[in-house]
Amino acid sequence: MARVETSSSRPYHLVIFGASGFTGQFVVEEVARTVSEGPKGNLKWAVAGRSKQKLEKVLEQAAGALSKPELRTEVDIIVADVEEPDSLAAMCKQAVIVLNCVGPYRFYGEPVVKACVENGAHHIDICGEPQFLEGMQFNYSSQAADKGVYIIGSCGFDSIPADMGVLYTRDQFKGTLTALESFLTVSSGPEGGCIHDGTWQSAIYGFADSHKLQSLRRKFNHKPLPTVGSKLKRRGTLFYSNEIQQYTVPFMGSDPSVVKRTQRFLAEEYQETPVQYGAYAGIGGIGSIIKLMFAGMMFWFLVKFSFGRNLLIKHPEFFSFGLFSKAGPTRKQMEASSFQFAFYGEGYAEGEDPSQGKPSSKIRTLVQGPECGYVATPIAMVQAALTILNESTALPKKGGVYTPGAAFAKTTLIDRLNKHGIQFSVI
Ligand SMILES: NC(=O)c1ccc[n+]([C@@H]2O[C@H](COP(=O)([O-])OP(=O)(O)OC[C@H]3O[C@@H](n4cnc5c(N)ncnc54)[C@H](OP(=O)(O)O)[C@@H]3O)[C@@H](O)[C@H]2O)c1
């Protein structure tokens, strides 16, 4: 069972590392909002990062935004730098869980995971980079298990809605769900919206290095997951989706990789039927296709060379047609934005044999919520942490490196998310 108690030497339930980052500041606010949901109605927490002044500023800003002046004085500050292992060790020794918001994770993530494993802190990140997530699984699974530490990756918009959405749909289906497709749509208000530069940089280096992911996957030497029921057909690279009434492309984020890892874990650990999964994202009408093709071609060309990557990093707004920006979205833009995952599943009704004939039954579910990057992500990350603290007996028996679905399949995380505006429903 996970160790979740604080003590005199480990005084904080949560330490938010990278609290001064664009996303980190909103995680700070979300933690401040949810202190009463901690163990015994209390949550002891601190912020951490490499600049004390910036962390003080973040607390000052959160105090103003939430009208909680006590945040200025009551929240402790820990100075820790990824480049200084001793500072990371000192931080991890004081935390039950480190909420790690320092990215791109491919550059800064591993020393933090290592320090958590070595010093007995659980680790939650909001990484959307499969290479990092799977690399940590490869490098730290057995050490984390030996230490009883839970390293749970991709606990933000990447990939809690998709991974938990698959489990939710499976659990609502009356029979054996065998295949599921999700269609993501994102809406913004009249002032538009965008994603902060931090995620743009993670994407640039992720694509530049994508060949390394293939060789990492070979090292796991996994047997292919068995296909139960009719094989799910892959759609094309661009198609008009009748499901969401717009042009659609395969979803390029971490969701398919995370869902697949979850399904593998649940099949191997609990002999559950693996669900085949396809992830797609709506892009809109013809105008959006032209923009996407143009931006995509420039991106694919430039990302291969270091001068190209520097150009992309210097000018996120220009090369992404305003989808990414160095300033990030305003609070007003965030308030008017939302996301929706529409899941379309099929399978075999109760009593039917999934190895015989075609699927006989269908299901539709929705996972919807507020702005993805800086509203839904902090909610998902903080609720994941609260689930560890409050439901440690429902986590997998051993520590290890887990996906959200693997870690939280037997917990009430979905109910918690429902209460916080990330809603799961059958339609
Ligand atoms: N899953 C999702 O849906 C989702 C959503 C949002 C963000 N993210 C991910 O979250 C990560 C952060 O994104 P962001 O936009 O918040 O980036 P950001 O604003 O650039 O923040 C990066 C943070 O890392 C800190 N940092 C950098 N180098 C460090 C070091 N050597 N030691 C300690 N701290 C260091 C920065 O500290 P300083 O303030 O001192 O510079 C800052 O706090 C990215 O990987 C992004 O992809 C994921």
Spell out the domains of the chain, with CATH numbers in brackets.
Answer: 12-156+374-420 (3.40.50.720), 160-373 (3.30.360)
pLDDT at 323: 84
Token pair recorded at residue 102: 């320092």
Pocket lining: 108 vs ligand 1, CB cutoff 6 Å: yes
Pocket lining: 348 vs ligand 1, CB cutoff 6 Å: no
Pocket lining: 100 vs ligand 1, CB cutoff 6 Å: no
Residue 315 Cα to ligand 1 midpoint, Å, equals 18
| Ligand 1 atom at shortest distance from the alpha carbon of 197 | 15
Token pair recorded at residue 163: 């991974």
Residue 47 Cα to ligand 1 midpoint, Å, equals 14
Q: Which residues of the chain have pLDDT under 70?
A: none
Pocket lining: 50 vs ligand 1, CB cutoff 6 Å: yes
pLDDT at 236: 92
Pocket lining: 159 vs ligand 1, CB cutoff 6 Å: no
Burial of 412 (0-12, 13-18, 19+ CB in 10 A): middle
Pocket lining: 329 vs ligand 1, CB cutoff 6 Å: no
pLDDT at 147: 97
Pocket lining: 91 vs ligand 1, CB cutoff 6 Å: no
Burial of 350 (0-12, 13-18, 19+ CB in 10 A): exposed
CA 99 to CA 85: how far, in whole Å?
Answer: 17
Pocket lining: 196 vs ligand 1, CB cutoff 6 Å: yes
Residue 20 Cα to ligand 1 midpoint, Å, equals 8
pLDDT at 176: 97
CA 153 to CA 321: how far, in whole Å?
Answer: 29
Angle between helices 52-66 and 22-33 (to 10 degrees): 50
Pocket lining: 106 vs ligand 1, CB cutoff 6 Å: no
Pocket lining: 156 vs ligand 1, CB cutoff 6 Å: yes
Residue 50 Cα to ligand 1 midpoint, Å, equals 12
Burial of 243 (0-12, 13-18, 19+ CB in 10 A): middle
pLDDT at 191: 86
Pocket lining: 128 vs ligand 1, CB cutoff 6 Å: yes
What is the dihedral sign for C-alpha 126, 108, 7, 42? negative
- Chain-centroid distance of CA 363 in Å reads 25
Which 3 state secondary structure label does DSSP give 217?
helix
Residue 7 Cα to ligand 1 midpoint, Å, equals 29
Nearest CA to ligand 1 atom 48: 126
Probe residue for ligand 1, chosen from 15, 22, 81, 258 as the CB with the greatest number of ligand atoms within 8 Å: 22
Residue 104 Cα to ligand 1 midpoint, Å, equals 6
Give the CA diameter of the chain. Answer: 65
Nearest CA to ligand 1 atom 17: 198
CA 245 to CA 167: how far, in whole Å?
Answer: 25
Pocket lining: 54 vs ligand 1, CB cutoff 6 Å: yes
- For residue 137, give the nearest of 423, 369, 400 by alpha carbon: 400
Probe residue for ligand 1, chosen from 91, 126, 163, 383 as the CB with the greatest number of ligand atoms within 8 Å: 126
Residue 82 Cα to ligand 1 midpoint, Å, equals 12
Probe residue for ligand 1, chosen from 51, 101, 125, 157 as the CB with the greatest number of ligand atoms within 8 Å: 101
Pocket lining: 49 vs ligand 1, CB cutoff 6 Å: yes
Nearest CA to ligand 1 atom 27: 102
| Ligand 1 atom at shortest distance from the alpha carbon of 105 | 45
pLDDT at 192: 85
pLDDT at 333: 94
**Do the Cβ atoms of 416 and 386 come closer than 8 Å?**
yes
pLDDT at 190: 87
**Do the Cβ atoms of 390 and 97 come closer than 8 Å?**
no
Strands across the sheet with 45-49, in order?
A: 76-79, 45-49, 12-17, 95-100, 122-125, 150-152, 400-402
What is the dihedral sign for C-alpha 265, 270, 271, 275? negative
Residue 405 Cα to ligand 1 midpoint, Å, equals 24
- For residue 175, give the nearest of 421, 350, 417, 27 by alpha carbon: 350
